[in-house]
Amino acid sequence: MHASIPKEITEYHEKIMFGLSIRQLLCFAVAILGGAATWFFCAKLLRLPFDLISYVVIAEAAPLMALGFIRKDGQPFEKYASLVIRHRFGRLRLNFTAAPRDSDATDPAVKAAARRERRKSHVWFAEKTHPQYECQRFEVTKKERKRKRKAAQRKIAAARQEYRAAKRSAKKAAAAAGRAEKHLSMHQV
């Protein structure tokens, strides 16, 4: 018996030619044309060796092919690459600044302005729900990430040891049960 399950409709891309979508076909064509032009320019005009030309063409065509063919988590390559770059080299600081409280001012206009300013910030919600908490500025550092990674590795190692111990005890219990069964069967004969 065979039942086919249709693909997710959001992941469907219309195939135009050679089983390629428009995006893939355009990127492939641009990579081929650009590679041929580069090869011609380097080989005929600059007289470079062929092995060097091949590296230049590969370096030129690889990003174009990546744009057309690589998709990660449903996102095209350029969006995923920008997210990775922003995550890797972006700001790792989270700044929270507490706006002045209404009770600090005596003038009603200043109180209203302070209230409006607090509502604009994310801290206002924390102050409203948890007035006893202080908002602090903190920074994610390499040292902190390394400490957390080491702690996670220790937890993983402990879980592996626990798993191995449970596996050994289950194996011993199964062997003991098998010996007991064998012993009973020998006495019944």
Alpha helix locations (H) across 1-141?
Answer: 22-40, 50-69, 77-89, 108-120, 123-129
CA-nearest of 125, 123, 105 to 114 is 105
End-to-end Cα, the chain, rounded Å: 48
**pLDDT score, position 105:** 56
Is residue 25 a contact partner of residue 17, using CB atoms and an 8 Å limit? Answer: yes
Beta carbons of 35 and 60 less than 8 angstroms apart: yes
Determine how many CB atoms are found less than 10 A away from the CB of residue 149: 10
What is the pLDDT, as a whole number, of residue 102?
A: 47
Q: What is the reported pTM?
A: 0.42
Report pLDDT for 60: 93
Domain segments of the chain as ranges: 12-72, 90-143
- How confident is the chain (189 residues) per 10-residue block, as mean pLDDT? 71 77 89 94 91 94 89 85 83 54 63 66 50 54 86 94 94 86 64
- Confirm if 69 and 24 have CB atoms less than 8 A apart: yes
